A and B are shown apart, each in its own frame.
Chain A
Amino acid sequence: GAVVSQHPSRVICKSGTSVKIECRSLDFQATTMFWYRQFPKQSLMLMATSNEGSKATYEQGVEKDKFLINHASLTLSTLTVTSAHPEDSSFYICSAQAGSNSGANVLTFGAGSRLTVL
């Protein structure tokens, strides 16, 4: 089945530094990928929609200059948390859709990347 890989799975960084998280579709191409964030004991919240070859679409309240998304190829999207602060510590999860352009197709999720900002 479709596999989405995220890297790194865990990252610890100092406040003020930038962190890049990669999301790859391993055996399929994805023109659209989605980035979610999940705080402890809360549900997943959609941050942005990553579109191959064009600008990402951000959800209301998500700062596009802080969370930079690059979808340079059909198998790779990256999320860069710029100037990270402790409040950015969270579980970041990406997802992508495999299959034909049909409403019945499912999203496959990565295993997530846990960011801890000291």
Chain B
Amino acid sequence: DAKTTQPPSMDCAEGRAANLPCNHSTISGNEYVYWYRQIHSQGPQYIIHGLKNNETNEMASLIITEDRKSSTLILPHATLRDTAVYYCIVRGNSGGSNYKLTFGKGTLLTVNP
């Protein structure tokens, strides 16, 4: 699976949009981009994923560049409860044990009042 690069930390004001970048320049054509977050002392929580097109759900939006070498997770109106470590993960789709996710260090997003 391709490697990802994320800033170690970011700050965001409550109520403002949080834009979390991720570089995955070695992504291959059949690899998806997944975003998870981990609130302190909890298991990771799925946020969103995409292949080529931009995606939006009730939690966030995912913007993937046309060359797919980078993406941005957008939390449109960050709240204090969004403070967490956000992981950007690239994964193939060949099934079975290849469904495993390899976690990097992620980005610690701190939402400030």
B49 within 8 A of A: yes
B51 within 8 A of A: yes
Could you give, for residues 92-104 of chain A, a 1 whenever the CB lies within 8 Å of some chain B CB and a 0 otherwise? 0101010001111
B93 within 8 A of A: yes
**List of B residues within 8 angstroms of A91 by Cβ:** 41
Q: How far is the CB of B107 from the nearest CB of chain A, in Å?
A: 11
Interface size class of chain B, counting residues whose CB lies under 8 Å from the partner chain: 20 to 34
A interface secondary structure, majority: strand
The one of A34, A36, A106, A109 in contact with B49, judged by C-beta atoms closer than 8 angstroms, is A106
A102 to B94 CA separation, bound complex (whole angstroms): 8
A49 to B91 CA separation, bound complex (whole angstroms): 16
B92 within 8 A of A: yes
A19 within 8 A of B: no
Question: Given A43-B106, A46-B102, A103-B30 in contact, is the A110-B93 Cβ separation under 8 Å?
Answer: no
- Give chain B's interface residues, CB within 8 Å of chain A: 30, 32, 34, 36, 38, 41-46, 49, 51, 87, 91-97, 99-106
